[in-house]
């Protein structure tokens, strides 16, 4: 069965652009609207630089989100501690670089196998399911299987850039 998941990071981006001086747009209100519209999972990315989602957002959604909460996170001891404390239903491990505007590639599971496997084991013991955001290569998929991931998500940026000036859906692709 297909389930709708909604990422609400940019609702928080708009709030944070205002310098944290306003309570709007209301993240929890947006989550409730997404759920009313059929969302069965809400995704937030608590970045190290806190450019959009803040710790207070995780704290509120951990209590008040009535559907599965998916926490996108870097594989760091601090983030694993937060996931263990707030226990979202899902965690998606993503690479994170301060300078990037948005995630520019997949997590290198092969290179970071040991730390990823340890973090997965710690969180799965609490009943948290783990997804890995990876490049769509057979080697990365096999490495994700080897470390015990429950799911994978593919970074499609390379494919999108390879499309050049073609308009997707224009009949010319």
d(CA 135, CA 152) in angstroms, rounded, equals: 10
The whole domain housing 120 covers: 74-158
In a domain, 163, yes or no: no
Residues 34 and 97 in one domain: no
CB 69 within 8 A of CB 88: yes
pTM over 0.85: yes
Nearest Cα neighbor of 69 from 41, 27, 38, 32 is: 41
CATH number at residue 125: 3.20.20.70
**CB hemisphere CA count around 115 (13 angstroms):** 15
Residues 28 and 63 in one domain: yes
Looking at the 3D structure of the chain, how many domains does it have? 2
Token pair recorded at residue 56 = 């207070």
Per the listing, tokens 């080897």 go with 146
Residues 58 and 89 in one domain: no
pLDDT in tens, 25-64: 899 999 999 999 999 999 999 998 898 999 999 999 999 9
In a domain, 172, yes or no: no
Q: φ, ψ for residue 144 (rounded to 5)?
A: -60, -40
């Amino acid at each position: 069965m297909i389930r709708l998941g909604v990422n609400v990071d940019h609702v928080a981006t708009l709030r944070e652009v205002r310098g944290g001086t306003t309570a709007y747009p209301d993240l929890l209100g947006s989550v409730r609207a997404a759920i009313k519209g059929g969302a069965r999972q809400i995704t937030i990315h608590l970045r190290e630089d806190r450019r959009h989602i803040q710790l207070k957002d995780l704290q509120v959604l951990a209590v008040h989100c009535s559907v599965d909460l998916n926490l996108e996170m870097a594989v760091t001891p601090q983030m694993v501690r937060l996931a263990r404390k707030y226990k979202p239903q899902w965690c998606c491990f993503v690479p994170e670089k301060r300078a990037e505007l948005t995630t520019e590639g997949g997590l290198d599971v092969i290179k970071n196998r040991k730390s990823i496997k340890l973090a997965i084991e710690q969180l799965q013991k609490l009943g948290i399911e783990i997804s890995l955001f990876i490049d769509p290569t057979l080697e990365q998929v096999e490495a994700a299987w080897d470390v015990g991931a429950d799911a994978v998500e593919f970074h499609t940026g390379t494919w999108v850039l390879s499309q050049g000036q073609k308009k997707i859906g224009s009949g010319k692709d």
